[in-house]
Amino acid sequence: MATTADEVWRLLGELIESQKETDRKFQETERLLKEQSLETDRRFQETDRKQQKTDQQIKELGKQIGGLAGKFGSFTEGLALPSMEKILREKFAMEVISPSVRVSKQGEHIEIDVLAYANGSVNQAYVVEVKSHAKEESIEQLKTILQRFRYFFPEHQNKQVYGILAAVDLSAYVRQKILQEGLYVARIHEDVFNLDIPDGFEPKVW
């Protein structure tokens, strides 16, 4: 069947219209993709901003928790001092009682929560470590201080040295471990620290 010129022009016109529609749909699709991409970028930026804010809040919270822990430790030591001073004077006849003793020697440092000693007929020194919650690591910490005591305090070279671990809270297991190491245990009761040792307890001389 022969195709007339009119039919050719008609078909050509339809093809052009079809191409225009295709172009229009392509442009619409491109616009939608661009909008979606912009929206995705916006959401990523918003998520990133929120993450940065969360990271900052976590960092600040960490600082606050660290500060709070330090303040609570200072509070515990302050709470322990009056009752520990009474124990050290009345039970152990200590003459000098000093809280928060810090010593530096040849680039090394040591810190003692409470140091007590006497120079007369009683020639002894007591190192008190105060903890809000005593753990096995607390025992090792006190032992390390006791083992190095004479290095930092050569003036007490000839004294008998004893250790006391004072805690607001500790388990029965940790208490037993402390006693097995020959260290005194002091526990808080009604805002006052008291020695918590069994009858016949023999402390270790360091």
Nearest-10 crossing angle of helices 136-147, 172-180: 20
User: What tokens were used for 180?
Assistant: 């097995």
Which pLDDT score, from 0 to 100, does residue 78 have?
A: 58
CB 163 within 8 A of CB 184: yes
Q: Is the dihedral of CA 148, 152, 157, 162 positive or negative?
A: negative
What is the chain's percent helix, strand, coil content, to nearest 5? 55, 25, 20
DSSP letter at 196? -
Judge contact between 136 and 180, C-beta under 8 A.
no
What is the reported pLDDT for 63?
A: 56
Q: Which domains does the chain have, with CATH numbers?
A: 78-195 (3.40.1350.10)
Query: What is the structure's pLDDT at 1?
Result: 53
Q: Which of 117, 186, 109 is nearest to 144 (CA)?
A: 109
* Local confidence pLDDT in tens for the 206 residues of the chain: 556 766 767 777 777 777 777 778 878 888 888 888 777 777 877 877 777 777 677 666 555 544 434 433 454 555 667 788 888 999 999 999 988 899 998 889 999 989 999 998 899 999 999 888 889 999 999 999 999 999 999 999 999 999 999 988 889 999 999 999 999 999 877 667 888 999 999 999 99
Using left for φ > 0, alpha for ψ between -120 and 50, and beta otherwise, residue 93 falls in: left
Distance CA 80, CA 68 (A): 18
109 alpha carbon, distance to own chain's centre? 21
